[in-house]
C-alpha cells in the first residue's frame, strides 16, 4: 500500500515529536530525595551537598521528618534515596529489627548530645528527685546512660553490653535522680518542666539552643557520629558515588570549616580529621 504525501508528512511529524519527547525524557535530571531530621543536617544537605549535586546535573529534594523511624522506612521503600539523621549504631539496630537493606555511606561531622538545663548551672546543683529526660529509642537511651556514667551521675552494670543498656541496668544512682525516657524530638520542650535533659545535638540546634549552653557535652565515639545512609542495592550507583565524592571534596569541607556556621563546632569523623593538616610547630 502506497502512502500519500500528506500521510507521510503526518507520520514524519509524529515520529519526530516522539523522538524529541524521548530525548527530552532521557535528558531529564535524576532526582535525589534526601530525608533529614529537623535542624542542622537538612541545612548541611542544602548548603554543602545539594549545590554540588546540582552542578553534576542532579535535581535534589530535601524532605524533613520529625522522628527517627520514618526516614529509614522511607529509604527502604524507595520514597527517598538517602537520609542523614542517624549514627551507625542506630542504623544497624533499626535495620536488623525491621529487616531492612540499608547501609551507611559515609560519616559526617556531628553535633554531640548535651546535658542541658534551665534550672541549674552545674552538676553539683542536682539533688534527689530531680527529673532528667532522655531519648526513649533503645540505641540513644543506652547512649544517654553511657553519657550519664561518663559524667559521674550513674554507674551501669559491668556485666551487660553498654550499647544495649536500659534504665534497669543502672547499678548506682547516688544522687537519686529520676530518669524519664521520651521521644527525642520532644526533649527540648521538657526543659521548662524538668531539671535537665539529654538532648541530641540536632534537636538542640533545631530548637534554637546553642551547643555551648550545655552543662556537659559528650565525646562521640566514631559509631555515634552521623552518617549518610542509602539502600544497600544502591551502593554502586553513580548518584551514591557522586554523593560520597562530594562529601569528601573541598566545597563540602569549606562549608564545614566556615567559622560563621555551626558546623565548625561539630565533632569531625576520623576520615576528615586525617585530612586536616597538623598545626605548625
Q: Is the pLDDT of residue 37 over 70?
A: yes
Give Cα separations from 188 to 77, 111, 151, 155 (angstroms).
Answer: 31, 15, 20, 25
What confidence score (pLDDT) does residue 13 get?
47
Alpha-carbon dihedral sign for residues 5, 7, 13, 16: negative
Q: Is the pLDDT of residue 10 over 60?
A: no
Is CATH 3.40.190.10 the right assignment for the domain spanning 28-110+223-275? yes
Q: What is the pLDDT of residues 209-219, one digit of tens each?
A: 999 999 999 99
Mean pLDDT over 238-247 rounds to 99
What confidence score (pLDDT) does residue 28 get?
73
pTM of the model: 0.79
Q: Is the pLDDT of residue 32 over 60?
A: yes
Q: Is the pLDDT of residue 14 over 60?
A: no
Instruction: Provide the pLDDT confidence category of residue 240 given band limits of 50, 70 and 90.
Output: very high
Q: Where are the domains of the chain?
A: 28-110+223-275, 114-219
Q: Is the pLDDT of residue 1 over 50?
A: no
Q: What is the largest CA-CA distance in the chain?
A: 98
Q: What is the pLDDT of residues 99-140, one digit of tens each?
A: 999 999 999 999 999 999 999 999 999 999 999 999 999 999
Instruction: Provide the pLDDT confidence category of residue 277 given band limits of 50, 70 and 90.
Output: low
Q: What is the dihedral of CA 182, 184, 188, 194, to 10 degrees?
A: 20
Q: Is the pLDDT of residue 22 over 50?
A: no
Is CATH 3.20.20.70 the right assignment for the domain spanning 114-219? no
Within 10 A of 142 (CB to CB), how many other CB atoms are there? 22
Q: Is the pLDDT of residue 223 over 70?
A: yes
Least confident residue range of 17-21, 33-37, 198-202: 17-21
What confidence score (pLDDT) does residue 242 get?
99
Mean pLDDT over 197-211 rounds to 93
Nearest to 100, CA basis, from 241, 238, 240, 234: 234
What confidence score (pLDDT) does residue 94 get?
96
Q: Are 90 and 227 in contact (CB under 8 A)?
A: no
Q: What is the pLDDT of residues 84-93, one digit of tens each?
A: 999 999 999 9
**Does 28-110+223-275 match 114-219 in CATH topology?**
yes
Amino acid at each position: 500500500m502506497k502512502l500519500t504525501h500528506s500521510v507521510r508528512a503526518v507520520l514524519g511529524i509524529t515520529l519526530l515529536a516522539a523522538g524529541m519527547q524521548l530525548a527530552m525524557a532521557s535528558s531529564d535530571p535524576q532526582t535525589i530525595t534526601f530525608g533529614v531530621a529537623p535542624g542542622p543536617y537538612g541545612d548541611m544537605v542544602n548548603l554543602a551537598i545539594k549545590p554540588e549535586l546540582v552542578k553534576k546535573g542532579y535535581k535534589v529534594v530535601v524532605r524533613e521528618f520529625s522522628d527517627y523511624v520514618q526516614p529509614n522506612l522511607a529509604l527502604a521503600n524507595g520514597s527517598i534515596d538517602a537520609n542523614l539523621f542517624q549514627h551507625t549504631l542506630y542504623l544497624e539496630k533499626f535495620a536488623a529489627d525491621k529487616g531492612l537493606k540499608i547501609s551507611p555511606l559515609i560519616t559526617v561531622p556531628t553535633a554531640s548530645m548535651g546535658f542541658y538545663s534551665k534550672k541549674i548551672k552545674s552538676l553539683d546543683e542536682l539533688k534527689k528527685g530531680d527529673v532528667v529526660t532522655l531519648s526513649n529509642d533503645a540505641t540513644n537511651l543506652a547512649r544517654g546512660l553511657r553519657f550519664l556514667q561518663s559524667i559521674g551521675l550513674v554507674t551501669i552494670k559491668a556485666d551487660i553490653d553498654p550499647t544495649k543498656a536500659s534504665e534497669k541496668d543502672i547499678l548506682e544512682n547516688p544522687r537519686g535522680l529520676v530518669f524519664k525516657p521520651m521521644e527525642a524530638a520532644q526533649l527540648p520542650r521538657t526543659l521548662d518542666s524538668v531539671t535537665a535533659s539529654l538532648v541530641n545535638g540536632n534537636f538542640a540546634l533545631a530548637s534554637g539552643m546553642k551547643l555551648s549552653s550545655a552543662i556537659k557535652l559528650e565525646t562521640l565515639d566514631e559509631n555515634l557520629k552521623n552518617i549518610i545512609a542509602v539502600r544497600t542495592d544502591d551502593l554502586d550507583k553513580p548518584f551514591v558515588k557522586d554523593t560520597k565524592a562530594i562529601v569528601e571534596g573541598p566545597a563540602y569541607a569549606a562549608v564545614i570549616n566556615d567559622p560563621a556556621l555551626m558546623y565548625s563546632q561539630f565533632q569531625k569523623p576520623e576520615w576528615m580529621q586525617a585530612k586536616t593538616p597538623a598545626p605548625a610547630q
